[in-house]
């Protein structure tokens, strides 16, 4: 008789039926963050380690099993704008799911989303630096995320993988992110489908199963860990840098990411309702899990090389490494085997504060926000153009793992 494990229970009962059994078999590590602090205001209190995506997971597993992935990806390449009708020819079950999944939550506030645009216009440079060198590099010391990226198909072509991740960060910060002519809803729904595919495929990878300490990747908790590496980490750093952000803009930036989490399939009871709640949840789920893995160290090295290539030699790997040390600290830089830079390390510590102060001091001038935005937008588009090889970035459902 096979020993009772989470993987064997999953095989016996299926992804949906296994949730309760998995919870019962989980080691004692309480989920203590209260759903009273969520956008829902209440919840069942289930530990999100044992919650995945019961709507998308069986659907995508079926699409892969039926051999429909190539056809679906071909059709979805034409679906680019939020307000655009879904392409004709999609399987009926997928169409029904996507029509449902593309709807904004009832609590989405268009005024807040408009205010988030104002925030992004003023702080686009900081956001670009932080998404890339704080959030992006932090992902390599989130073990579950590093393993899932490395052993999934995207790990075989990190330039392509990063371009798709960068697109999400670009789309959520665009002026029309959630408007009919924007692309954030499309990007989030496609990413949700990709997550479901990875959940189905990675348990079939002997490389991943040999390295991972879980049986199904990308739980709701894992998604929120990654979420906190983005907006929560960004706001922590902006606070550290003493960037004076109006309360309405701070709340609006959070709101844009709350809506993003919802569109990625996160249950409302896990989405923090305020920055205080976001920080409290991050202390529980993000901060304690950061640690190096061989796969993460390799991914970090790839990211630094790609970052230097994006900037066409203007930023070298040593400079990007120094930025990473400045953003994430000596401990994480040491984990990632990033050498100290005798010139750049002290220069960043000395000069970044005054640079931020000067930039913020110019914001009250009438043309400054738009000028900042145009410059920052140029940099972001140039980076995406390089990463994509000047081709449209297409987020597509994988049907295989990383080739061994």
Residue 73 covered by a domain = no
Residue 42 covered by a domain = no
Does this model's pTM top 0.75? My answer is: yes
* Mean predicted confidence (pLDDT) in 105-128: 92
The token pair that represents 146 in the structure block: 């590093």
Residue 156 covered by a domain = yes
Number of domains composing the chain: 1
The token pair that represents 251 in the structure block: 């709340």
Residue 8 covered by a domain = no
Residue 67 covered by a domain = no
In which band, very low, low, confident or very high, does the pLDDT at 29 lie, cut at 50, 70 and 90? low
Residue 343 covered by a domain = no
Q: Distance between alpha carbon 330 and the CA centroid of its chain, in Å?
A: 24
What would the pLDDT profile of 50-90 be if each residue is shown by its tens digit? 999 999 999 999 999 999 999 999 999 999 999 999 999 99
Residue 264's domain comprises 104-289+352-387
* Mean predicted confidence (pLDDT) in 35-59: 96
CB-CB neighbours of 125 under 10 Å: 17
What would the pLDDT profile of 121-145 be if each residue is shown by its tens digit? 888 888 888 888 889 899 999 999 9
* Mean predicted confidence (pLDDT) in 365-373: 56
Cβ-defined contacts of 66-71 (< 8 Å, 24+): 66/91, 69/197, 69/397, 69/398, 69/399, 70/399
Q: Which residue has the higher pLDDT, 153 or 268?
A: 268
Residue 361 covered by a domain = yes
Residue 344 covered by a domain = no
CA 187-188-194 angle, to 5 degrees, is 90
């Amino acid at each position: 008789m096979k020993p009772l494990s989470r993987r064997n229970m999953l095989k016996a009962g299926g992804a949906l039926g296994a949730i309760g059994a998995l919870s019962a078999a989980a080691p004692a590590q309480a989920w203590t963050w209260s759903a009273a602090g969520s956008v829902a205001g209440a919840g069942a209190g289930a530990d999100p380690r044992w919650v995945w995506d019961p709507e998308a997971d069986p659907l995508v597993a079926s699409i892969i099993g039926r051999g429909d992935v190539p056809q679906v990806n071909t059709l979805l390449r034409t679906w680019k704008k939020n307000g655009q009708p879904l392409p004709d020819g999609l399987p009926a079950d997928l169409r029904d799911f996507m029509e449902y999944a593309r709807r904004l939550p009832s609590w989405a506030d268009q005024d807040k989303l408009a205010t988030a645009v104002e925030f992004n216009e003023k702080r686009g440079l900081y956001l670009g630096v932080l998404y890339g060198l704080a959030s992006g590099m932090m992902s390599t010391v989130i073990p579950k995320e590093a393993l899932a990226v490395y052993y999934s198909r995207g790990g075989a072509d990190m330039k392509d993988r990063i371009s798709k991740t960068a697109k999400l960060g670009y789309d959520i910060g665009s002026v029309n992110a959630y408007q009919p002519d924007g692309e954030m809803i499309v990007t989030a729904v496609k990413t949700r489908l990709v997550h479901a595919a990875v959940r189905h495929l990675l348990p079939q990878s002997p490389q991943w199963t040999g390295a991972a300490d879980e049986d199904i990747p990308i739980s709701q908790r894992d998604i929120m860990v990654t979420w906190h590496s983005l907006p929560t980490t960004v706001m922590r750093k902006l606070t550290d840098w003493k960037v004076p952000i109006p309360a309405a803009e701070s709340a609006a930036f959070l709101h844009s990411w709350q809506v993003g989490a919802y569109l990625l399939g996160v249950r409302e009871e896990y989405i923090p309702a305020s920055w205080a709640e976001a920080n409290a949840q991050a202390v529980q789920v993000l901060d304690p899990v950061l640690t190096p893995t061989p796969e993460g160290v390799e991914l970090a090295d790839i990211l630094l090389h790609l970052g230097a290539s994006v900037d066409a030699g203007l930023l070298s790997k040593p400079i990007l490494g120094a930025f990473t040390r400045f953003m994430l600290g000596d401990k994480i830089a040491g984990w990632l085997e990033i050498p100290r830079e005798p010139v750049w390390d002290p220069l960043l510590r000395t000069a970044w504060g005054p640079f931020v102060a000067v930039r913020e001091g110019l914001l009250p001038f009438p043309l400054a926000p738009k000028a900042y935005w145009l410059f920052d937008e140029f940099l972001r588009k140039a980076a995406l153009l390089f990463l994509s090889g000047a081709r449209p970035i297409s987020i597509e459902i994988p049907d295989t793992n990383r080739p061994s």
